[in-house]
Amino acid sequence: MKISAAEFIAAAATPGEIPRAHLPEIAVAGRSNVGKSSLINRLTGRRKLARTSQTPGCTRGLNFYALNDRLGLVDLPGYGWAKRSKQERDRWKTLVEHYLETRTTLAAVLILVDARRGAEEEEQMLAGYLGAAAIPCVWVLTKSDKLKRSELDARIRELAGFPGPRAAVATSAKTGRGVDDLWRCIEDLLAAAVTTKKSGTKTGRRRA
């Protein structure tokens, strides 16, 4: 997709602050520091659309962006911060689950996985959760510039072995590798979401 307009719409730290849905949305999920904000910037060709940082957990709430007034991108707050209090982790869970379970315009979730670490318990749990909620998802390896081709191929094979996500795309926000492939994958997910809606396929999702 050629991005002629990319704008920040809103940040939501509580369910009540989530903006009204009007565009089909792709949510970007993954642990802190995996490269969610960097990938959004790379996908949109805007260096500073989403704030990135050296400090894990910098994106605290959900951040909503609109592209070409056609597609919404949502930067979900990173999970897996060991240093946070239980209260804060519970608040994260409530907020993210509320969004995932009630967002009628959610087309799919990209589950970002650091190419060096692969899918650990949290990533597999998220894939399982999305599968149970009938929310389409794909694996997106980040920081693929840090791995050799053979290592990356092994990671992709490993991801293909987990149930749930439909595909795995290797990307690098640093070099731009895989970004065109990811766009193609996003277009396919959007097209599939439209077809599902038209055919009225029951997804088992709670609709708000």
Residue 35 binding ligand GTP, by CB under 6 A: yes
CB of 208 to ligand GTP, least distance (A): 26
CB of 92 to Mg ion, least distance (A): 13
List the one residue from 12, 18, 37, 126 that touches Mg ion (CB under 5 A).
Answer: 37
What amino acid is encoded at 35 in this protein? Answer: G
Residue 44 binding ligand GTP, by CB under 6 A: no
**Quick one: what does residue 63 bind among ligand GTP, Mg ion, none, with the CB cut-off 5 to 8 Å set by partner type?**
none
**Quick one: what does residue 146 bind among Mg ion, ligand GTP, none, with the CB cut-off 5 to 8 Å set by partner type?**
ligand GTP
What amino acid is encoded at 137 in this protein? Answer: C
Q: For the window 17-36, what string marks contact with Mg ion as x by the rule CB under 5 A?
A: -------------------x
> Rounded to whole angstroms, how far apart are CA atoms 76 and 11?
10
DSSP summary character for residue 19: P
- Which of positions 110-169 make contact with ligand GTP (CB under 6 A)? 142-143, 145-146
Q: Which is nearer to ligand GTP, 144 or 193 (CB)?
A: 144
**Quick one: what does residue 44 bind among Mg ion, ligand GTP, none, with the CB cut-off 5 to 8 Å set by partner type?**
none
Residue 65: strand pairing partners: 8, 73
Q: Which is nearer to ligand GTP, 15 or 56 (CB)?
A: 56
* Residues making contact with ligand GTP (CB under 6 A): 30, 32-38, 52-54, 56-59, 78, 142-143, 145-146, 172-174
* Residues making contact with Mg ion (CB under 5 A): 36-37, 59
